[in-house]
Structure formats: C-alpha cells, structure tokens
Structure 1
Amino acid sequence: MPAADLVRKSWEATVAALPMEARVTGEVIGRRPFGVFTRVDGVPHAVAPAEITAMPQGMDLPALGAFVSGAVHWHTAHDHQVKVRLDEWQAADE
C-alpha cells in the first residue's frame, strides 16, 4: 500500500487521472473480508478497493498478486479511495 500521506497529498491528481468510468488495470496488493485493494497501473499513489458488495454471489475474491481490470465507479474523498468495479464481476452479473 502506498504511504497514507502520499495518498492524501496526491488525491486531487488521482481523481484527475481516474475520472468516473475510467478503465483501470492493476495488481491485487491486499485482501480483506470486505474486498480487495489494487495498485493501479500508472497512478502510483492511488488506493483502489473493489468491495465485496459489488461481487456476484458464488464468486471468489481475486488472489494476492492477481492482475485485474475494471472501471472506476466512485471516489471517496474522506478516505482518499477510488472504488473500482472489476470486469469479472460485471461479466458475471450480465
């Protein structure tokens, strides 16, 4: 995970680089019961969680080190996170 102070200082640049619906790719760098965190390619200080609330029933969270892609679907300024909906979750919903 990037250092919290770098994430906070880079927030405006992160939002500018990752507007709503922007396509992102990255590596899973953290797994929690509520979702996964990814390091976004090309935006080194971005924290991009994909929350389990967006995951279809019966699917598993991507493994640590997995490369994933998706789209930005929300910015949360209070914790400086860019929420992502993963492509594999979108495909399973359709």
Structure 2
Amino acid sequence: MDEYVWPTGPEVPTADAVLRSWATTVAALPIGARIAGEVIGRQPFGVFVRLDGSPNAVALAEITAMPHGMELPTVGARVDGEVIWHVEHNHQVKIRLDEWTTSVE
C-alpha cells in the first residue's frame, strides 16, 4: 500500500451525499463535539476520517493540529477527537485527534 492514499471505496460518501447532508452534519457535529471514526485516507497534509454515526460526513485532521514529531495515523486506524471547525466551501468537518492533544500535555 502507498504511504498516501485518497479515500475510496463503497463506504466513502459521494460528494452529492456530503452536500445534501451538510446542514444535518453541522447540526449533529457542533464545534466541540466528540467524534470517533476510522481513517479512510492519508495525505501529506492530514488524514480523512469516516465518522461513526455520520455516514455522509467526511472529517479531516490536518497536520497543522498535529504536534511536531508525531506521525499521521495509518489507513484503517480507529481514532477519537473533537470537532474544531466546519469548512463550508468543501463541506468538511475539521477535527483534532485526541492522540495529538494528549502528547502535548
């Protein structure tokens, strides 16, 4: 497997499904909400996460929220975290992973 992969497969919501569900996603996942999910894609800038209980949402944990010296979780890894922002233009839920927060404390 390549080190970096885009989210693909039948479990990844289509762009249309994400768009149609955006208002519901934002209401269900307000800033500060706790999340859990599975890493479904990995890029140099962060990881994409399929969120438990929100099948039409795509979350992104960017490296800007990752402490220096840590590594991105691998595809298939289970992660927990917190919603930190909603990005309207591409309908992404920005998250910070717990493992990134606890390593700094």
How high is the TM-score relative to the length of structure 1?
0.98
Unpaired runs of at least 5, structure 2: 1-11
Residue 63 of structure 1 pairs with residue 74 of structure 2: yes
* Larger helix fraction of residues: 1
Shift of 1:2: 1.1
Q: Distance in 2 between matches of 1:47 and 1:28?
A: 10
Q: Displaced runs of 4+ in structure 1, greater than 3 A? A: none
Computing the radius of gyration over CA atoms, which structure comes out larger, 1 or 2? 2
RMSD: 0.5
Unpaired runs of at least 5, structure 1: none
Shift of 1:92: 1.2
- The sequence identity of aligned pairs, in percent, is 65
Shift of 1:42: 0.1
Q: Quick one: which amino acid aligns to residue 39 of structure 2?
A: V
Residue 85 of structure 1 pairs with residue 85 of structure 2: no
Residue 53 of structure 1 pairs with residue 64 of structure 2: yes
Match of 1:34 in 2: 45
- Corresponding residue SS for 2:103: helix
